[in-house]
Amino acid sequence: MSDNQKSNLDFEELLNESVKIHGHLCPGQVLGVRMSMLGLRRIGIEDPKGKNRKDIMVFVEIDRCATDAIQSVTGCSLGKRSLKFLDYGKMAATFLNLKTGNAVRILAKEEAKDMAKNYFPDIADKYQCQTAAYKVMPDEELFSLEGVKIEIPAQDMPGRPLKRVKCDKCREYVQDKREVTMDGKLLCKACAQGTYYRVK
């Protein structure tokens, strides 16, 4: 089996696994799997769920379908503190090799949506067309890449919490230096800045 056939087989296996987790096949799943495969290659991670599982961190910039695929392929997760979510609303992710410091940010090109029609002009449904095209389009048509440098504070690294403090107002505990000092008091962000919820 050639390298090309092997990588294609790996892609199909990774896509199938991701679809099981996400619940359906869509363009975002294909993009997320391809983006992950490219990112892992670029930062020198061969076995993200095995021997390299502690060597990788991924920063995702959108809470959409591709993020499920990235988590599925890389094995990174919020619970392991190896997946970081930054709410930028961009179809982009940065893959970081924690051992070497090598990092690459990959952005899905917006123009790829229109280019998909060139690959499958007979597929009328735009999402089905994009799903099919994204499987075969070259990386350079789908993505733009840039080498980046990331400095991660100790409190954001995987592992046990470095510190726990009690909020002076609500008395709930705050981990990983997420507390805020205000008027000489240690407060959780909810007490200092307001919450997303309202107590009934």
pLDDT tens per residue across span 148-192: 999 999 999 998 888 999 999 999 999 999 999 999 999 999 999
44 and 9 co-located in one domain = yes
**Does any domain span residue 199?**
no
Tell me the Cα Rg of the chain.
20
Q: Could you tell me whether strands 83-85 and 56-60 are parallel, antiparallel, or unpaired per DSSP bridges?
A: parallel
pLDDT for the residue 199? 86
**Does any domain span residue 198?**
no
142 and 164 co-located in one domain = no
**182 alpha-carbon distance from chain centroid:** 33
Range of the domain at 165: 160-193
83 and 23 co-located in one domain = yes
Report the chain's terminal Cα–Cα distance, integer Å.
62
CATH code of the domain containing 115: 3.30.1330.130
Q: Is the model's pLDDT at 2 over the cut of 50?
A: no
115 and 181 co-located in one domain = no
Residues 6+ apart with CB under 8 A from 31: 66, 69, 91, 108, 134, 142
Evaluate whether 162 touches 154 at the Cβ level (below 8 Å): yes
| Per-residue DSSP letter, 152 | -
134 and 171 co-located in one domain = no
Question: Over the stretch 48-74, which tens digit does the pLDDT of each residue have?
Answer: 999 999 999 999 999 999 999 999 999
Angle at 3 between CA 66 and CA 93, to 5 degrees: 20
pLDDT for the residue 9? 55
Domains in the chain, number: 2
Cα separations in angstroms, 136 against 12, 19, 59, 131: 12, 18, 25, 9
137 and 171 co-located in one domain = no
- Model pTM score: 0.90
**Does any domain span residue 200?**
no
129 and 174 co-located in one domain = no
124 and 179 co-located in one domain = no
Q: Is the model's pLDDT at 6 over the cut of 90?
A: no
**Does any domain span residue 138?**
yes
101 and 170 co-located in one domain = no
* Token output for 170: 């609500």
